[in-house]
A and B are shown apart, each in its own frame.
Chain A
Amino acid sequence: MAQPSGKYSYYVESRAGDVSDRPRKFLEAFAAVLEHSSYGIALDAYARVGAKCSRCAASCQLYEATGDPEDIPCLRSELLLRVYRRYFTYGGMLRARLFADFSLTDEYLDRMGEQFYRCTACRRCKLTCPFGVDHGLVTHLARYLLAEVGVIPKALVVSVREQLSGVGNTSAIPPAALRDTCEFLQDELKETYGVDVKFPIDVEGAEHVFFPAVSDYLLEPDTLMGNAAVMHVTGGSWTIGTGNFDGINYGLFYSDRMMERICKRVGAEVRRLKGRKVLVGECGHATRSAWLLPNFLGADAPPVVAFLQYTYRALAAGKLPLKREKIPERLTYHDPCNLARAGKITEEPREILKAISADFVEMTPNRTENYCCGGGGGTVSIDEIRAFRTKKMGKRKADQIRATGAKLVVAPCANCKKQLKEVCEDNGLEDVRIVGLHDLVLKCIDFGSTGGRHAE
């Protein structure tokens, strides 16, 4: 049963037994995680060499908005590093003996719980840290450990629970409903464009197994139709599995344990369908979780293709017939952190947009240095902190969009779309429309006389 805990700005499910003795449990979890994962190597380096130069402060949109020193990435990371130093290094142990060093208390954990969910783990600060300290990694780890003592925003845990022990996906869509939706979308496409685009379901041996953010089935049918249309015109071999058709992985936001379980379900579904590749829909964190698949499945994990990459390759290979007329409105592109920060997917969407748009403008800064939408790290689904998300975290983003003058913002990420819509609503940008990339691609595809199917 959900109840507002009052301690945090978000709702937390408190389970009996976890409430007492939290510091001890936290440290136990810390010990276990250090033993069985690889965070130790980074923590050790960070705990040793942090320069405390505050360069990260200048790159953090949260600190820029609030001006509260507590929001400086380095200081936030120090919350966890201090625990690490105190309990897991010889120097810390010695200092604790010699001086009255700090000890881990409930209040301290509460402070961590609040701070680490203010951070969206966008990892923009890593770029400016002279020592390459990955504050996103620290946030990731801290949330993992906090989750082990029960500090998880309810919104996140509910999603995962739905996925792992509920219907099987975060939006609780039963397979039958999925089939219905797909048929509906097929009809829709037929109706609008007059082409017979298939949504192949449970086709064994398809090259790509499709994992979109499952919310797209409910909220973003255009994106899905765009995806299907691209597959249709390029003749791609793909399928949607009824066993698991959800690319969302909220484990990435609070627990490696959950992430592992979800990723293993993805792996199992691909194996069941004898697919060869994981095709991720337009979603940042789903793509990043998929990229992490080898961590959980080992070296024989299926390769991952993001839909943006697929479409771009098709375009570059000339397999994507486009109409002559381009989209006239001024549009801009928002780089989802999870796709762009490491420099992995930045150029592909731009190339596509240039092909279909008449008035494409860049935000500044962009690509790897783009600001986060403000709802990263899963915070977008925590509705009770909407004011914080849109007014503080999203302020910088709203300014950016305003500066471009674009009326159309392309955000190839389910979370970003939701967050950006709210940001625009709350920051007086009601006339700005947030769309997915494939929504636009769909409009521009030239299905032609052959029904669009490319000569094979």
Chain B
Amino acid sequence: MTAAKAILNDTTRCTGCEKCVSACKRENGLAKDLPRRWKLRIDDLSSTRFTTIQRREDGRPVRRMCLHCLEPACVSACIVGALQKRPDGPVIYDGDRCMGCRYCMMACPFGIPRYEWEQPVPYVRKCILCYHRLDQGKLPACVEACPEKATIFGDRDQLLAEAERRIRDQPARYRNTVFGRDEVGGTSVLYVSDLDLGFLSWKPDLEAQALPDLTWAALGKVPTIVLTMGGLMTGAWWLIGRRNKLAAEAAAAKEQETAAPAVKPKTGEKS
């Protein structure tokens, strides 16, 4: 198996030229961005834009894309396994399996998956880390297109080391953290930046716990519940049925003593 790959984004190097965006569009055959009701900004992530340059207040460009979590919430949420995490990094999507429930979009802590709302037959769209290019030994289109080397591709371990080296070398230029190292269990897209990158997720300061674990804490109890509930109900039915039967028999016996016709109770049977 190939080693886990990753992308490292250095926001201090990004000039916002959007070459990554057009490369991505070309590579994935995405259509023109049109103003739509469901887009706050036309350059927001959308079904026609897998990566974008998000500009902070002071105009600082930050590239936004799927972070390809190591333990992706979307993959664990997907009911049909249309979303899969490949060992080498990309979180990929299979439209043939997708049933369009959009639970992945609810689950993603970064708000990445987008939907083709304009289509009668819509699919989920998101960055797939150009896995088809990876398979051919090529770089992801955006990485290849970046004229500034603000986004680079490589083994995750090496990139982490590179990120730490940069932070060490130029402490004034960077914040002392690699975004994506631990967040929600780690991601395959890493950032070094002088900015606080909390805006990339729904809430700043993500914890290190992987989200699928939260679900599994409850989901793991299912067998217990089945057995407990089933047992309880069967037991209750048997006990109560028996008690009613005994009571009825006693009553019948009593009634027989008084020479009245006995009526057999019918419990547990549908009328």
Check whether chain A touches chain B (CB < 8 angstroms). Answer: no
